[in-house]
Amino acid sequence: MKRYAELLKPVRIANLEIDNRVAVIADDQRLADADGNVSNELIRSRMTQAKSGAGLIITEPFIVDFGEQAAPDNGSSDLLIDSDEYLPNLQRLTSAIHAAGASVIIRLGLSNVLYGAPILRGVAQNESNPALDVVNGEYERLRIIACFRAAAGRVAKTGADGIELDGALACNLRSPALQRMINGRSVSGADAFNDFFEVVNEMRRAFPTGRPIICRIDLNSFIILNDGFEDLINLAETLKTNGQFDALHLISDPLMSSNYQLKNWSEAVRASAGLPIISTVGVNSLDEADALIASGSADICGFRNALPKQGVIRRPRSSVYLWSAGRRRE
């Protein structure tokens, strides 16, 4: 039997056909230059990952609204996409990954300074004038949604194959139980979903039909809760009903739970959502990844930052892909 028979099969997400079922997930390596641009070091790193044989590269997050937030004191900087000035280097990154034979998904997010803040509907900030909070909260909600739409348009200009969006971005969407733990209150579950889906809907307006938008779900937030599995399945069913996403990316720290539990959760989410699953949940070898795909628990298996050391996946041929009318061609 051919080794890695399942991993080497092509897979389709929306109109994107990926050569094989191996993904490398860039895990916040912070290889931006001091201005937030894609650096030459980052391009070389992603090219190496693509040349290793991975069919898909998912980048670290590009920040859609950095604003005036200061860069960290450690000399690193967030990757930014809140202005057209960042497009030339991001286009170089996309072209380099394509030239190495892989597809590329650009992950969009908010600055860590803003994560967890009541950026959408919300938690009261001015107890003496709650009406002002309503006005400010609505303005901020619309502004952030507009930032994601603009970023999606910029991603389209780079020729990237798709977008990944953190499911946790909108009002701590990760689970209703976790929402209740934050500052003792939060938006309602319904409002959180509505705001999140409005973000995706606006991104769709700016992003070409057929290129996938993927929802990233961090399982750690569900594992720590007694009712986490039920919340996770409810989320998967909600995403299925809404129909805005083309695939789900499940990611977790393997130290949080056993591989057996994560595999079962991945399989359950796949069945509930009815969507392709990218699973980055503690698989440590290509053989384990092949078995995971064969079991039906996932459609693509992700590895953080690099493929396992046992070797690279050989491509049947070297290919460069271009987008034409929303579809890829050689």
Q: Identify the DSSP state of 46.
A: H
Range picked from 106-110, 126-130, 184-188, 218-222 for highest mean pLDDT: 106-110
Residues 266, 268, 272, 278, Cα dihedral to 10°: 10
Q: Please check the confidence at residue 320 and state whether its pLDDT lies above 50.
A: no
- Average pLDDT, whole number, for the chain? 78
State the pLDDT at residue 120.
Answer: 42
The residues near 207 (Cβ < 8 Å, ≥ 6 apart) are: 152, 153, 155, 156, 163, 213
Alpha-carbon Rg for the chain, nearest whole angstrom, is 19
Contact 116, 182 (CB under 8 A): yes
Contact by Cβ (8 Å): 110, 69: no
For 189-237, how does the pLDDT look when each residue is reduced to its tens digit (9 = 90+)?
Answer: 555 577 788 889 999 999 999 999 999 998 887 877 666 788 888 889 9
Residue 46's pLDDT is 93
Structure confidence at residue 314 (pLDDT): 56
| The predicted structure's pLDDT at residue 260 | 60
Q: Please tell me the predicted confidence (pLDDT) of residue 72.
A: 46
pTM, two decimals, is 0.83
pLDDT tens digits, 275-296: 999 999 878 889 989 999 999 9
The Cβ of residue 34 has, within 10 Å, a number of other Cβ atoms equal to 10
pLDDT of residue 198: 87
Residues in the chain: 330
pLDDT at res. 229: 85
Exposure string of 164-188, with b = 16+ CB inside 10 Å and e = fewer, is bbbbbbbbbbbbbbbbeeeeeebbe
pLDDT band at 167; cut points 50, 70, 90: confident
pLDDT, tens digit (0-9, with 9 covering 90-100), for 136-150: 567 777 888 899 999
Is the model more confident about 176 or about 158? 158
Model confidence pLDDT, tens digit, residues 35-90: 889 999 999 999 999 998 999 999 999 999 865 444 444 455 789 999 999 999 99
Query: Tokens 């030339």 appear where?
Result: 88
Between CA 201 and CA 235 the distance in angstroms is 18
The per-residue pLDDT for 269 is 92
Domain borders along the chain are: 11-310
Going from the C-alpha of 161 to that of each of 141, 201, 212, 263, the distances in angstroms are 27, 18, 7, 27
Neighbours of 222 (CB within 10 A): 25
Name the more confident of 177 and 106.
106
Of 312, 223, 306, 221, which is closest to residue 261 (Cα–Cα)? 223
Q: Which of 315, 319, 317 is nearest to 8 (CA)?
A: 315
Q: State which fold the 11-310 domain adopts.
A: TIM Barrel (3.20.20)
Q: For the chain, give the percent of residues with pLDDT over 70.
A: 70
pLDDT computed for residue 67 by the predictor: 57
Query: Residue 84's closest CA among 155, 160, 162, 159?
Result: 155
Q: Which two tokens stand for residue 119?
A: 């950026």
The C-alpha angle 207, 71, 87, rounded to 5 degrees, equals 30
**End-to-end CA distance of the chain, in Å?**
29
